[in-house]
Amino acid sequence: MARRWGDAMFRDRQGAGEQLVPLLRALGLEQPIVYALLRGGAAVAAPIAAALGAPLEPFLVRKLGVPWHAELAFGALAEGATEPVLNPDIVAACGLTQTDMARVQAEQARELARRQAIYLRGRERPDPRGRAAILVDDGLATGASARAALRALRAQGATPLVLAVPVAPRESIDAISSEADRVVCAEVSDIPFGIGGCYGDFHQLEDEEVLALLAAGGKAGP
C-alpha cells in the first residue's frame, strides 16, 4: 500500500512515477520507450524513463468531451490517427448527434495540431516497431485517451505494449486490458473525487514545464 499524504495517495506526479518504477523494472523489458500522455503524464513518466534508462517521448491525445460536460469523454483523438476512438455507450447515453461530435472533434483537432507544433516539431523520435512501449498517464478514469494512444502505438508496431498508471478503478483496468499486453497500476482504487483527488499536488502542467521534462528525459536511453 502506498504511503498517503493527508487524504491523497500520492505526493505529486513525480512521486507517483517513482512508485511505478519497481513495478515496471520487474517486467524486465529490454530497451523500452517511455511515452508520456501529455500533459499530466509527462511528470509521472520522467522518473520512470530516468530509472529505466529509456528515452522519454511525448504522445499527444485529445479527449473528446461531451459538449455540456467536458470532463465526460465520448471519445479521443490520437496523433497520427485519421479517426477518433469513440465510446458508443457515452454517445448513446448522452444522445450525441453527428453534428455535436463533429464540432468537438474539429475543435480538438485544432488543439492537437497546436500541441504537435510545440512538442513534435524538429523532434527525432525512435521507431517503436518491435520495441517495448510503456505508455504513462497520471491516472485512468474512462480510459478514452489511453485507449486511443494504445491503438495508435499498436498500429505503429510497438510490442509488447504496457500501460502504466498510478491509480485506476478495477473496472477501468478491466475495460482497457484488451488494448495493452500489460496494465501496471500502483493503486487499484475507486476515484470518487477524480484523479486530481488522489494527489496532494495536481497542478496543471504548462507547456514550458512539459518541455523541460522532455528535454531532460530525452538525454537518457538509446
User: What is the domain count for the chain?
Assistant: 2
Relative to beta strand 133-136, strand 33-37 is parallel
Among 83, 98, 118, give the residue marking a domain's end.
Answer: 118
- Would residue 189 count as lying in a domain? yes
* Domain identity same for 53 and 38: yes
pTM: 0.91
pLDDT digits (tens, 9 = 90+) for 138-179: 999 888 899 999 999 999 999 999 999 999 999 999 999 999
* Domain identity same for 37 and 135: yes
* Domain identity same for 28 and 39: yes
Mean pLDDT score, 41-60: 96
Residue 68 C-alpha cell reads as 455540456
- Would residue 2 count as lying in a domain? no
* Domain identity same for 134 and 98: no
Residue with more model confidence, 129 or 3:
129
Q: Give me the phi and psi of 196, to 5 degrees please.
A: -60, -30
Question: What's the pLDDT band for 70 if we cut at 50, 70, 90?
Answer: confident
pLDDT digits (tens, 9 = 90+) for 85-121: 999 999 999 999 999 999 999 999 999 999 999 999 8
Mean pLDDT score, 55-74: 93
5 touches 176 (CB < 8 A):
no
pLDDT at 3 over 80: no
Using left for φ > 0, alpha for ψ between -120 and 50, and beta otherwise, residue 130 falls in: left
Contacts of 58 by beta carbon, 8 Å cutoff, 6+ apart: 35, 36, 38, 42, 119, 120, 123, 210, 214
- Would residue 5 count as lying in a domain? no
- Would residue 165 count as lying in a domain? yes
* Domain identity same for 208 and 135: yes
What's the rounded Cα separation, in Å, for the pair 146 and 64?
12
Residue 119 C-alpha cell reads as 512538442
* Domain identity same for 54 and 141: yes
* Domain identity same for 70 and 47: no
One DSSP character per residue, 81-133 reads -SS-EE-HHHHHHHT--HHHHHHHHHHHHHHHHHHHHHHTTT------TTS-E
* Domain identity same for 137 and 213: yes
Which domain range does residue 82 map to? 63-118
pLDDT at 6 over 80: no
56 touches 71 (CB < 8 A):
no
Specify the pLDDT at position 222: 38
Measured at the CA of 112, the angle between CA 142 and CA 134, to 5 degrees, comes to 55
Output Rg (C-alpha) for the chain, integer angstroms: 17
Mean pLDDT of the chain: 92
pLDDT at 221 over 80: no
Contacts of 201 by beta carbon, 8 Å cutoff, 6+ apart: 11, 12, 13
Measured at the CA of 58, the angle between CA 146 and CA 165, to 5 degrees, comes to 40
Local structure of 12: helix, strand or coil = coil
CATH for 27: 3.40.50.2020
